[in-house]
Structure formats: structure tokens, C-alpha cells
Structure 1
Amino acid sequence: MEVITFESDAFKQLEKKIDRIAGFVTNIEATPKNKDPDWSSVRLESEEICDILDISSRTLQRIRKEGRLFYYIEKGKCIYKFEDVEQLVKEKIFPTHIKSYQEFRKAYLEYVK
């Protein structure tokens, strides 16, 4: 068996780095894995809505133009509140395979994985 020697300063630095890594691992393990996001703070872009609901951008534009869906423009993209889109899913406004807001939430979580 071979003995490896370290300088005291190098060993202390290594020990601090290992402790820091252990702290990160502990935090990650303590974080709940199935925690849902705060739905009121989730924002969606047009492309995300079209992908999740499997609708065309034209359909989304038509619903927007009819005033049924509030949006704002940020950096040249239409941004929507998750809750507003969810409400239209509940009201069955979108011609989509997703039939309930629970399915919409589940589809969103799968999409962002």
C-alpha cells in the first residue's frame, strides 16, 4: 500500500470543496421531486401552447384576435399566463385532445422535462 502525502493547505482546500459538494447533494436530495410549480407564475410562449395542445399557430392567433386570450409581447414574442390558457382548456375553447385542466398541467410538466 502506498502512502500519499498532501501539503496542509492543499488538503484543507480539497476538504472544503468536498464539503461544498456534499452540501449541494444534500440540498438536491431534500428538494421534493414531484413538486408542482406555482401555476400563477408560469408563462407560456405561442410555440409552447401549440406544441402542448397540438393546435396550429393560426388557431391560436384566431383565439387571440377574438379577444378570448390575453397576451403581452415580450422581446417580440407573445406571452400568455398559464392560468389564462388553462381556463380556455376548461371551457373547451381549443380544438385539442386535452380535455381537462389536469391533463393540460400534466402535458405541460412532460413538455418542460
Structure 2
Amino acid sequence: MEVITIDSEAFQSLKEQLNRIESYIERSTTLSKEIDDALELSSKDVMEALAISESTLYRWRKKGIIRYRYAESGDVRYFYNSLFVGIKCYQIKVPAMPKEEALRRLSEFKDNIILNSYMSKDRRNDKQGRNTGPY
């Protein structure tokens, strides 16, 4: 059995691998936070994702418990992060739905947006004749 020392090649290789893993996790965490901060949902998106009525969404907005903005078109846009944190911290109570279910639905909604965005980018690249495969 070989003893691994700080100076050994095996240790250095393991250290490099751990550094790459750490870097990947940091990049992934940063990207996920940036997506959460930038993602906005329409009223329809929120109502469908959380199975709530327009009046419930209106009450949340009027009470000031969720962040929103008006788009140039006049539509209301809700910040994903505000909804997620509000539900997680019990500031927002989704009627007839446990907190965990509401958080799961929001996360699935975000994942679907990311997946659809990636898939549509893939289709655009295919139409332009670009190689989109892993190699």
C-alpha cells in the first residue's frame, strides 16, 4: 500500500481535482443566484405556477409583500427571488398549499424556463448549421 504524502504526485492530482470541483460549484452557485435575481414572471406565470387567483396576486401586490414592476407594455412582472424568499420565510402564504409544494412548483417553473431557453438555443444553432453536440 502506497502512502500519500503532501509532496506526492497523487496528492497534487487530488488537490487539483478538488480545486476544479470547488471552482465549478462556485460558478454554478453564482450563475444560479444571477438567474434567480434576474428572472421575472408574468401574472399568468405566477397564477399557473402557484395555482392562485388573480385576486390573491393582487392582494399580495397591494400589501407590498412581493416585489414587482410594470413592464413597458403595462403588464406586471414579478421577481422570482421575491416570491421564493417570501414563501420560504412565511411572508407569503399560498392558499391551500403547503410551503414545500409552493417552493417546489416555483423551482420547477424556473427549471422549465432554463431548459426551454437552452432547447430553443439548440434549435437556433441547428438551423444555422452549428455543431451543438457535446464533442
The unaligned stretches of length 5 or more in structure 2 are 1-30, 117-135
Q: Structure 1 residues 106 and 73, CA, compared in 2 at 3 Å: closer, same or farther?
A: same
> Which residue number in structure 2 is paired with residue 46 of structure 1?
43
TM-score normalised by the chain length of structure 1: 0.58
Q: CA deviation at 1:102?
A: 4.8
Q: Structure 1 residues 64 and 102, CA, compared in 2 at 3 Å: closer, same or farther?
A: closer
Percent same amino acid at aligned positions? 22
Aligned-residue Cα RMSD (Å) equals 2.4
Flag the structure with larger Rg: 1
> Which residue number in structure 2 is paired with residue 83 of structure 1?
81
Pairing 1:24-39 to 2, within 5 Å after superposition: 38-39=35-36
- Does the residue aligned with 1:38 lie in a helix, a strand or coil? helix
Q: What per-residue deviation string (whole Å, max 9, x for no partner) do you get for residues 65-101 of structure 1?
A: 1111121101110011110011122114222535237
The unaligned stretches of length 5 or more in structure 1 are 1-34
> Which residue number in structure 2 is paired with residue 69 of structure 1?
66
Q: Whose helix proportion is higher, 1 or 2?
A: 2
> Contact 1:42–1:81 at 8 Å: present in 2 too?
yes
Q: Structure 1 residues 108 and 70, CA, compared in 2 at 3 Å: closer, same or farther?
A: same
Correspondence 1:93 to 2:93: yes
